């Protein structure tokens, strides 16, 4: 009889952008378990809602929950639900990795940082004892648990190297349709103050070009995927690897059989050589975190390695090679003024962008910005996690970091940005008449998901 393992993706099912893509991290855990124990030992199920009903239906032997900080309240409730059925609960993901002390009494074990090897050790212990023996958990690296009401954090687990040791994610336990996404690296070589990625992964590692192309081939040939997006923090960071990926795609005759919709880029790295490689790869667009058009605010958020001119140059370079640019912007930095915000608004109106999205600066655990917010008593390690929301328009309790502008003043700029984003989308549609149906369809979906074309 198979051991039943239920994975819970702690997301808000009412927010389209949270449930739009399946949780690849859980897929990597499942494939790692299968590699170690074989395919017949464990049966998996991945859920994100109606937890009590799913428990009654699937009847799992063990539960694993993954959560970011913004959804940690949901993770806590899911753990409480599972404990009503006396189920062992493992919690993983960015939040517990940044703040192990937030492990609750309904969570047996927290996995800190990378989980593929840790889950093997935990499952081996569970299979041996039928439970998570507190006397033996201290031998498992990279976890947190409570023993006699005392928090125990074990020895730090070394990062997996090379990443190719990790088997490709078990897509069969995820919802894989005609559109899919991939993550081909872990970490980011840059240290933006608001991003938890570099803190979570510590250093940047890459799946090899051969691994990446093998996964693309699997998606196309085994799952019939027609469109792939890349959710790496910085897909183009390793130029030589990018070149190898393009060459292997050409050798394998995969180009033309699948559409590559987007990848992440950084403006100071986008040059003619990179753009030419992306063009050869038939990449449709790049996603740029441009953040601000005010020089001093941009430097505050991203450091001295990038300028506003770099941002504009990247958009123009991509456009020269027929590659669309989508961009994200952030308002609400502590020292940001009205003029700083208006500079960003003007940039959105003037730059040849295909799409834009604007959010409010939000402090996440593990980031430099989190430590700053703690000095102002705006956050704590034990707080209401629901207020970590980048969209104060929908959450009146969302944190405001600005020291110059009130919440009401910041909110007054939302209609201006909304109008600019909508006008930009309409202009892009008119410049690409063949794609108007697709653009309008995507806009309709985003409206229904509550994103309102950028919000």
CA angle 254, 28, 162 (to 5 degrees): 75
Q: Are 275 and 321 in contact (CB under 8 A)?
A: yes
pLDDT in tens, 107-118: 999 999 999 999
CA angle 61, 65, 448 (to 5 degrees): 125
Claim to verify: residue 143 and residue 182 sit in the same structural domain: no
Claim to verify: residue 236 and residue 197 sit in the same structural domain: yes
Claim to verify: residue 25 and residue 82 sit in the same structural domain: yes
Tell me, yes or no, whether 164 lies in a domain. Answer: no
Claim to verify: residue 291 and residue 344 sit in the same structural domain: yes
Tell me, yes or no, whether 93 lies in a domain. Answer: yes
Residue 263's H or E segment, with its range, is strand 259-265
Mean pLDDT across 121-134:
93
Claim to verify: residue 245 and residue 191 sit in the same structural domain: yes
Claim to verify: residue 135 and residue 248 sit in the same structural domain: no
Q: Is the peptide bond before 162 cis (omega within 30 degrees of 0)?
A: yes
DSSP secondary structure of 2-27: PEEEEEEE---TT-HHHHSS--HHHH
Tell me, yes or no, whether 169 lies in a domain. Answer: no
The CATH number linked to 193 is 3.80.30.20
Claim to verify: residue 13 and residue 123 sit in the same structural domain: yes
What pLDDT score was predicted for residue 42? Answer: 96
> Average per-residue pLDDT in the chain?
92
Cβ of 451: how many Cβ atoms within 10 Å?
A: 17
Closest alpha carbon to 340 in 373, 363, 375, 308: 308
Where residue 455 falls among pLDDT bands split at 50, 70, 90? very low
pLDDT in tens, 374-428: 999 999 999 999 999 877 767 788 899 999 999 999 999 999 998 888 887 777 6
Claim to verify: residue 410 and residue 295 sit in the same structural domain: yes
Claim to verify: residue 372 and residue 418 sit in the same structural domain: yes
pLDDT in tens, 161-216: 999 999 999 999 997 789 999 999 999 999 999 998 877 787 899 999 999 999 99
What pLDDT score was predicted for residue 95? Answer: 96
Tell me, yes or no, whether 207 lies in a domain. Answer: yes
Claim to verify: residue 216 and residue 278 sit in the same structural domain: yes
Claim to verify: residue 68 and residue 194 sit in the same structural domain: no
What pLDDT score was predicted for residue 19? Answer: 65
- Total domain count, the chain: 2
Tell me, yes or no, whether 418 lies in a domain. Answer: yes
pTM: 0.92
Q: Which domain, by its residues, includes 281? A: 176-448
DSSP secondary structure of 312-355: HHHHHHHHHTT-EEEEEEEE--TT--HHHHHHHHHHHHHS--SE
Tell me, yes or no, whether 171 lies in a domain. Answer: no
Tell me, yes or no, whether 351 lies in a domain. Answer: yes
SS3 381: coil
SS3 182: strand
Closest alpha carbon to 90 in 125, 71, 123, 65: 65
Within 13 Å, how many C-alpha atoms sit on residue 289's CB side? 22
What one-character DSSP code corresponds to residue 413? Answer: T
Claim to verify: residue 202 and residue 325 sit in the same structural domain: yes
């Amino acid at each position: 009889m198979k051991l039943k393992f239920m994975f819970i993706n702690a997301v808000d099912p009412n927010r389209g952008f949270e449930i739009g893509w399946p949780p690849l991290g859980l897929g990597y855990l499942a494939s790692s378990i299968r590699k170690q124990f074989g395919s017949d030992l464990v049966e998996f199920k991945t859920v994100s809602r109606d937890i009590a009903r799913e428990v009654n239906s699937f009847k799992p032997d063990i539960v694993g929950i993954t959560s970011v900080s913004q959804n940690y309240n949901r993770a806590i409730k899911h753990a409480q639900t599972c404990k009503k059925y006396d189920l062992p609960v493992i919690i993983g993901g960015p939040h517990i990795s940044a703040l192990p002390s937030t492990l609750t009494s309904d969570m047996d074990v927290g996995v800190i940082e990378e989980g593929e090897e840790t889950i093997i050790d935990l499952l081996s212990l569970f299979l041996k004892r039928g439970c998570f023996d507190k006397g033996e958990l201290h031998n498992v690296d990279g976890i947190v648990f409570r023993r006699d009401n005392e928090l125990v954090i074990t020895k730090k687990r070394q990062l997996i190297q090379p990443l190719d040791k990790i088997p490709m994610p078990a897509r069969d336990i995820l919802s894989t349709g005609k559109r899919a996404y991939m993550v081909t690296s872990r970490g980011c070589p840059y240290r933006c103050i608001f991003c938890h990625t570099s803190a979570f992964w510590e250093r940047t590692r890459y799946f090899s070009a051969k691994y990446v192309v093998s996964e693309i081939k699997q998606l196309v040939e085994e799952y019939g995927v027609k469109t792939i997006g890349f959710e790496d923090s910085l897909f183009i960071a390793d130029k030589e690897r990018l070149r190898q990926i393009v060459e292997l795609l050409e050798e394998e005759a995969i180009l033309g059989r699948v559409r590559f919709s987007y990848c992440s880029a950084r403006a100071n790295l986008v040059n003619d050589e990179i753009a030419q490689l992306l063009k050869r790869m038939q990449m449709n667009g790049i996603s740029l975190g441009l953040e601000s058009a005010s020089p001093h605010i941009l430097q505050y958020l991203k450091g001295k390695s990038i300028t506003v001119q770099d941002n504009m140059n990247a958009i123009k370079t991509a456009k020269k090679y027929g590659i669309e640019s989508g961009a994200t912007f952030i308002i609400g930095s502590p020292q940001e003024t009205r003029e700083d915000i208006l500079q960003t608004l003007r940039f959105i109106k003037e730059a040849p962008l295909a799409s834009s999205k604007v959010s409010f600066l939000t402090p996440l655990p593990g980031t430099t910005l989190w430590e700053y917010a703690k000095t102002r008593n705006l956050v704590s390690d034990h707080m209401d996690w629901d207020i970590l929301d980048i969209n104060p328009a929908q959450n009146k309790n969302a944190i405001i970091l600005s020291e110059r502008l009130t919440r009401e003043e910041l909110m007054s700029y939302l209609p201006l940005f909304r109008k600019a984003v909508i006008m930009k989308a309409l202009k892009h549609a008119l410049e690409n008449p063949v794609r108007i149906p697709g653009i309008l369809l995507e806009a309709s979906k985003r409206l229904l998901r509550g994103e309102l074309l950028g919000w």
